[in-house]
Amino acid sequence: MSTTRSTAAGKVLKVLSTFDREHQTQTLSEIAQRTDLPMSTAHRVVMELAGWGAIERGDDGSWHVGLRLWEIASGCPQTQILRDVALPFMQDLYEGTHENIQLAVREGTELVFVERIAGHRSVELLTMVGSRFPIGSTGMGRVLLAHAPRHIQDAVLDAPLRSWTPHTVTDPKTLRGQLVRIRREQVFVSDRQLSESTVAVAAAVRIGRTGPVTAALGIVIAAGNASRARGLREPALRAAFAISDELGRRAKTTG
């Protein structure tokens, strides 16, 4: 009895899980196939989710995440508080650069982009809000990795590192040295590590100036202008400090 119940709830979550970054729109048979559920079961679960508004049907009959689920999920404090605090400072950085300004958090050995500001002139990126990347692959990821617990660092460095471009550092020893430098200098210029066309300038965001690292802030510009990237180290660091200070103040007020 308990198993049946638990299974039914599990199926709901299983169906929801299929709506990931690569499958934002799916037909019923795709959902059935990807969950390994019989069509009739998948249909029933889909209808229940639709009845609640978690998913909606497009004009072509396929399914996507609905506004109701988005509303509930937008209350996620990890993204909401960060976003509220960081956004004005990210706006300042944007106005000063007109580049992509990004904010990401770590989940295990991956990073998740929780906010992005971009204008007409900002360089096109592989990343987007809500997307995940291996933490070792991006400049912001390496900042998060540099401040991650030892077992996370070991998990990343003991596994083969993916080479995204000919410039990607994949040697664990070189990467370990980079992490030491990131912790010392507090800001990091990541040159064409994820894409041939971009350079990221990333800094750690803490809760208070000396508290735990909770996010990474990054400015992403077109590759090929090394002195410009270097010049953005100072503004990136200043903004990260300002966000950290404000997060620290809020933590004190509510804690």
CB closer to its own copies, 79 vs 178: 79
Q: CA 70: distance to chain centroid?
A: 17
CB closer to its own copies, 200 vs 207: 207
Q: What is the smallest separation between the CB atom of 243 and its own copies, expressed in angstroms? A: 12
CB closer to its own copies, 21 vs 151: 21
CB closer to its own copies, 5 vs 150: 5
Rounded to 5 degrees, φ, ψ at 86 are: -80, -30
Q: Among the residues of the chain, which ranges form H helices?
A: 2-17, 28-35, 39-52, 67-73, 77-97, 139-146, 150-158, 172-185, 226-231, 233-254
CA distances from 141 to 20, 60, 95, 146, 233 (A): 20, 38, 24, 9, 16
Out of 31, 112, 219, 220, name the contact with its own copies by CB under 8 A. 112
Q: What is the smallest separation between the CB atom of 127 and its own copies, expressed in angstroms? A: 13
User: By CB under 8 A, what part of segment 10-69 binds its own copies?
Assistant: 10-13, 16-17, 19-21, 24-25, 44-45, 48-49, 52, 54, 56, 58, 64-69
CB closer to its own copies, 122 vs 190: 122
Q: What is the smallest separation between the CB atom of 92 and its own copies, expressed in angstroms? A: 7
- Residue indicated by tokens 């750690």: 204
The b-or-e profile of 60-96 (16+ CB within 10 A means b, else e) is eeebebbeebeeeeeeeeebeebbebbbebbeebbee
Binding site for its own copies (CB under 8 A): 1-2, 4-13, 16-17, 19-21, 24-25, 44-45, 48-49, 52, 54, 56, 58, 64-80, 83-84, 87-88, 91-92, 94-95, 105, 107, 112, 114, 117-120, 122, 128-130, 132
